Amino acid sequence: MAVLNEEQEMLRDMAREWTVNESPVTEFRKVRASGEPEAFNRDAYATMAQMGWAGVIIPEEHGGSDFGFLSAGLVVEELGQTLTASPLVMNTVAASAIVLGGSDEQKAKWLPRLASGEAIATLAVDEGPSHDPAKIETSVSDGKLSGTKAFVHEAHGADLFVVAAKDGLYLVEKGDGVALTTRKLTDQRSHADVTFDGAAADKLASGGDSLLDDVLDRARVLTAAEMLGMAQQVFDDTLAYLKQRVQFNQVLASFQALQHRMADLFADLAQMRSAVEAGLQAVDGGFGVARAATIAKAEANRVMHTMANEGIQLHGGIGMTDEYDVGFYLKRARVLEASFGSSSWLKDRFSKLSGY
Amino acid sequence: MATQIEPATQTDEDAFRAEVQQFLADNFPAELKGQSNALAGVDGPTNETPAQTKWREAVGARGWGTPTWPKEYGGGGLTKAQAKIIDQEFAKAGAYNPIGGMGVMMFGPTLLEYGNEAQKQEHIPPICRGEIRWCQGYSEPNAGSDLANLQTFAEDKGDHYLVNGQKTWTSGGQWADKCFAIVRTDKSDKHKGISFMLIDMDTPGVEVRPITMISGTSPFCETFFTDVKVPKENLVGEEGQGWTIGKRLLQHERTNISGGGSLARLMGQSLGDIAKKYQPTGADGELADAVLRDKIADFEIRWNSFLLTARRAMEESKAAGGVSEISSVLKKLGTKLSQERSELLIEIRGLQGLGWEGDGFSDGELEAVRAWLFGKATTIYGGSTEIQNNIIAKRVLGMLDHQ
Ligand SMILES: Cc1cc2nc3c(=O)[nH]c(=O)nc-3n(C[C@H](O)[C@H](O)[C@H](O)COP(=O)(O)OP(=O)(O)OC[C@H]3O[C@@H](n4cnc5c(N)ncnc54)[C@H](O)[C@@H]3O)c2cc1C
């Protein structure tokens, strides 16, 4: 755990208390059972926004607290632990695009509403099933944006889309010229292909050439933070299970073959935490962001992948049941792993950033 | 004006930095630039040149080789921030820290914690001055991972102990002046029968026989003790406290093996850059072998997050006061990764990366081969990886003892 300041500790403790008491995995089960494509609880999100979580990276003059990404990551990590379904991550990423690239007018119009929870935004970049920001066909002419975005996270609840077009990022409001096709993924959260057909688009004109990369790096570190919480939870649940399950007249935790696998996972988790926290801190520090975010997401992918598999294996048959939570973590893990950079994509980027 | 304690300010740091720079200008012999510290390693005898002696004495006199140790015992009495400045300035000047070895890495910190005043006065200052080489008398032929099974016996003879038995794998035993050893003082209790004592290597009855390693060097020895007299004042702590003290020392050892300077130095050169010298590249300067490129990136990402983990552990342990069981995690990760790096280096260089000797190979290539072979020891000594896993599972995760 990074060394935190007092505000950050309070924020994390508050998030932990709320998720454990008000948003345990049973809440996610309810969301799933409701079958609503937007797949989150509006009341719960309103409460989260009231606690200030939607505005953690938004400047104070626009209604946020401006605590930064390490702070946002602390909240997201807690939400990940209980698989709380909410658009908080995507809303934060989309808000960061406006913070970095918006005009004063755009900021004044959107940021206070995104901070208060009154409006929800998301990010729409990829146009195929694999993350590839170099392959964008979406284009804008005369302020009208056209193109199709694939598997947009939290699309159903979004009032505002931050859309990547060939020549930059645009704000597009839901409504005329915006059509959603639901894509149900294994994590049972909100995903949709979004077709923009001459939708009114407002360019995020500041932020320079690197705006899209900068925003995606923020998506990477926050997604990695969610995965960190998930990995921690799978580890804790698995360890607790091994300590109470008896076979051969002894608890499973007494078998060395299993002890060593847990020691491996524990060490992996330590690495994942270091990488994710360093990624969040790099965004706050504004230095070495691309590299740090690549490492953060790559480590999150690697460790979460193994953690989810081992979590199931070490639970035995019960891990395969829908009644048990561990399977939910596996399903969400793979969706996040494929989003904003698969492991091979990230390694390619790391090589390029390193000059080989 | 109210009095208050001022935190160290930028100007304090600048002043100290200037002091270090001046010290280097006055004392560091130009001919030593770029050399490394022979005394810190355990793989060769020291035949110091006059310049090396001069440099060691200059650093030792200030206590700057052990900058954070207490001044009263010859350390620098400096803060961590100041120690870092010394590191940075030495590195900039191409100067090595001439004070090292097991005395600095593991024995000194342990003695500062458990030794009595007379022992600290006697043994710490010579470590700070780099005058005394210590070796570690722990392992025995039948006490490796099961270290507490050690049988070397110290019999109470009133004013001294009479030590008989055999240690093995004693790194640097043939060059050491003194040995910190764990020995048995009570045969009736496996753990509580162990005591920690200090043995002069030139005491009659101590005999060392070097062993040759797969890397071709002989850095370690068998050490035999036959009726070796050890004065009672060389017992550290109480009789029977040796297991506790001995384990504490291992935590320092593990922290050093994993997070120590040698690994950080390795990180200096990107494997990707090395690979570009040995392997074909494409139009954008990228490695043409996509599989190798992916392997290198995969390694370097994990290596980076390991370094971040070592740094995080240091920051977190500052408050908690020194080394802890996290040292097991760092040791396990760091040694595995450095072995992987050595293997990748060979893969990158092909047969050119497997040279044993001769003009057809650069110094760097040859050193990498020896380091690759020696590196296999890192997952064995200081408690093997399997033993670290046991420690993590039982002490950190609270999993039960297996049968
Ligand atoms: C280069 C080098 C330098 C050294 N320097 C020193 C020194 O200066 N001083 C000193 O005292 N010692 C030194 N050692 C010794 C070192 O500490 C021992 O080699 C180490 O403790 C392992 O003991 P062992 O060799 O007897 O292996 P063993 O204990 O016989 O182990 C053999 C294998 O079995 C595994 N194993 C053992 N027990 C368990 C278990 N309970 N569960 C699962 N797996 C297990 C081990 O991990 C290992 O893989 C050095 C060793 C090397 C290689």
ipTM: 0.87
pLDDT for res B4: 41
CA of B168 to the centre of ligand 1 (A): 11
Q: Which of A203, A225, A245 is the last residue of a domain?
A: A203
CB B176 near ligand 1, within 6 Å: no
Cα→Cα distances A106→A32, A114, A142, A205, B294, Å: 35, 12, 19, 10, 41
**Stretch B201-223: mean pLDDT, rounded?**
93
Based on the domain organization, do A346 and A228 belong to the same domain? Answer: yes
Containing structural domain, residue A179: 121-203
Nearest CA distance, A147 vs chain B (angstrom): 31
Shortest alpha-carbon distance between residue A127 and chain B (Å): 25
Same domain, A32 and A112: yes
* CATH number assigned to the domain comprising residue B351: 1.20.140.10
B290 and B176 part of one domain: no
Nearest residue (by CA) to ligand 1, atom 5, is B171
When pLDDT is averaged across residues B83-97 and rounded to a whole number, the result is 92
Residue B67 domain flag = yes
In which residue are the tokens 């297996």 written? B402
Q: How far is B342 from chain A (nearest CA, A)?
A: 19
Coil, strand or helix at B179: strand
**Cβ contact (<8 Å) for A348 and B297?**
yes
What pLDDT was estimated at residue B6? 44
Sign of CA dihedral A313, A315, A319, A324: negative
Considering the domain boundaries, does residue A23 fall inside one? yes
Confidence at residue B12, expressed as pLDDT on a 0 to 100 scale: 84
Residues B233 and B273 in one domain: no
CATH of the domain at A156: 2.40.110.10
Q: Do residues B263 and B391 both lie within one domain? A: yes
pLDDT of B261: 47
User: pLDDT value at position B35?
Assistant: 79
Q: Is A257 on the interface with B (CB under 8 A)?
A: no
What are residue B269's DSSP bridge partners? none
Domain tally for chain A? 3
pLDDT-based confidence at residue B9 (cuts at 50, 70, 90): low
Kindly state whether residue A318 falls inside one of the protein's structural domains: yes
Q: What is the CATH number of the domain that holds A98?
A: 1.10.540.10
**Which residue has a Cα nearest atom 53 of ligand 1?**
B377
- Answer positive or negative: Cα dihedral of A87, A133, A163, A191: negative
Residue B28: CB within 6 Å of ligand 1?
Answer: no
Supply the residue whose CA is at minimum distance from atom 51 of ligand 1. B381
Domain endpoint, select from B183, B211, B240 = B240
Cβ–Cβ below 8 Å for B399 and A262: yes
pLDDT for position A183: 97
Q: Which of residues 308-347 of B touch A (CB under 8 A)?
A: 308-309, 311-312, 315-316, 326, 329, 332-333
| Per-window interface: A 37-56 vs B, CB < 8 A | none
**What span, in angstroms and rounded, lies between the C-alpha atoms of A59 and A78?**
23
Q: What is the tens place of the pLDDT at every residue in A103-136?
A: 999 999 999 999 999 999 999 999 999 999 999 9
CA distance A221 to A282: 10
Q: B106 lies in a domain?
A: no
Do A220 and A318 belong together in one domain?
A: yes
Give the CATH number for residue B207: 2.40.110.10
Looking at per-residue pLDDT, the higher value among A62 and B267 belongs to: A62
Same domain, B264 and B215: no
Residue A172 in this model has a pLDDT that exceeds 70: yes
Is there a single domain that holds both residue A102 and residue A152? no
- Angstrom CA distances, B208 to A301, B46, B176, stand at 51, 18, 10
Residue B402 belongs to a domain:
no
The verdict on A39 and A55 lying in the same domain is yes
| Structure-block tokens of residue A139 | 């284009």
Q: Mean pLDDT throughout B120-127?
A: 97
The whole-number pLDDT of residue B43 equals 42
| β-bridge pairing B178-184 and B134-137 | parallel
Q: Does A240 touch chain B (CB under 8 A)?
A: no
Which residues in chain B have their CB less than 8 angstroms from residue A245's CB? none
Looking at ligand 1, which atom is closest to the CA of residue B377? 53
Residues whose CB falls within 8 Å of the CB of residue A323, separated by 6 or more in sequence, listed in order: none
- Name A284's Cβ contacts closer than 8 Å, sequence gap at least 6: A68, A69, A70
CATH number at A270 reads 1.20.140.10
Chain A (91-120) residues lying within 8 Å, Cβ to Cβ, of chain B: none
A2:B306 CB<8 A: no
> Which residue range is the domain that position B349 belongs to?
259-396
| Residue B15 C-alpha, separation from nearest chain A C-alpha, in angstroms | 27
Same domain, B235 and B265: no
Please tell me if the CB atom of residue B381 comes closer than 6 angstroms to any atom of ligand 1.
yes
Inter-chain residue contact A255 with B300, CB threshold 8 Å? no
Examine the fold and report which residue of A66, A96, A116 is the final residue of a domain before the chain moves on: A116
A134 and A80 in a common domain: no
- Asked if residue B112 belongs to a domain, the reply is no
Are B233 and B267 in a shared domain?
no
Q: Once rounded to an integer, what is the mean pLDDT over residues A233-242?
A: 98
Q: Using a 6 Å cutoff on CB, does residue B164 contact ligand 1?
A: no
My answer on whether A238 and A270 are in the same domain is: yes
Cα gap B56→B93, rounded to integer Å: 16
Rounded to whole angstroms, what are the CA distances from B249 to B102, B255, B334?
A: 10, 10, 19
Does a structural domain hold residue A218? Answer: yes
Distance B149 CA to ligand 1 centre (A): 13
Active site residues of B: 253
- Chain A: closest CA distance from residue B121 (Å): 36
Q: Give the total number of structural domains in chain B.
A: 3
B273 and B209 inside one domain: no
Residue B292 Cβ contacting ligand 1 at under 6 Å: no
Claim to verify: residue A327 and residue A193 sit in the same structural domain: no
| Domain end position, chosen among B42, B76, B100 | B100
- Smallest Cβ–Cβ distance between A344 and the set B294, B390, B403 belongs to B294
The CATH number of whichever domain residue B83 belongs to comes to 1.10.540
Mean pLDDT of A36-62: 97
Which of A92, A116, A140 represents a domain boundary (last residue)?
Answer: A116
Domain match, B69 and B139 both: no
Q: Is residue B138 part of a domain?
A: yes
Domain boundary among B187, B209, B240: B240
Closest CB from A242, A272, A350 relative to B300 = A350
- In tens, the pLDDT along B324-374 reads 678 899 999 999 999 999 999 999 999 999 999 999 999 999 999 999 999
CB–CB contact A262 B297 (8 Å): no
Is B288 near chain A, with CB under 8 Å?
no
Pair (B236, B268) in one structural domain = no
**Is residue A289, in this structure, part of any structural domain at all?**
yes
Best residue among B42, B134, B136, B139 to mutate for probing ligand 1's pocket (most ligand atoms within 8 Å of CB) is: B139
Whether the CB-CB separation of B142 and B152 falls below 8 Å is answered with: no
Nearest atom of ligand 1 to the alpha carbon of B382 = 17
* Nearest-neighbour CA in chain A from B160: distance (Å): 43
For residues A125 and A131, give the distance between their C-alpha atoms in angstroms, rounded to a whole number: 8
Q: Per the structure block, which two tokens stand in for B344?
A: 């990748």
Residue B138 CB less than 6 A away from ligand 1: yes
Q: Is the minimum CB–CB distance between A324 and chain B shorter than 8 Å?
A: no
What is the pLDDT of chain A when averaged over all its residues? 97
- Alpha carbon of A79 to ligand 1 centroid (Å): 43
Tokens of B317: 């342990």
What is the chain B residue with the closest CA to A296?
B305
| Interface touch B329/A270, C-beta < 8 Å | yes
Mean pLDDT, rounded, for A342-350:
97
Model confidence pLDDT, tens digit, residues B156-173 = 999 999 999 999 999 999
B387: contact with A, CB 8 A cutoff: no
A134 part of a folded domain: yes
Same domain, A132 and A112: no
User: Taking the model in full, what pTM does it have?
Assistant: 0.88
Domain match, B81 and B153 both: no
Q: Please, are residues A2 and B309 in contact by the beta-carbon 8 Å criterion? A: no
Domain shared by A280 and A324, yes or no: yes
**A79 in the same domain as A151:** no
Residue B172 Cα: closest atom of ligand 1: 8
Predicted confidence (pLDDT) per residue in A173-221, tens digit: 999 999 999 999 999 999 999 999 999 999 999 999 999 999 999 999 9
* Single-letter amino acid code for the residue at B70: P
Inter-chain contact B301–A350, Cβ cutoff 8 Å? yes
Q: How far is the CA of B314 from the centre of ligand 1 (A)?
A: 26
**Which residue in chain B is spatially nearest to A239 when comparing CA positions?**
B397
A334 and A228 inside one domain: yes
Q: How many residues does chain A have?
A: 356
**Domain-located, residue A1:** no
Residues in chain B: 403
Closest Cβ opposite residue B286 in set A242, A302, A351: A351
For residue A244, pLDDT beyond 80 = yes
B303 in the same domain as B204:
no
pLDDT at A313 over 50: yes
Reply yes or no on whether the pLDDT at B30 is more than 90: yes
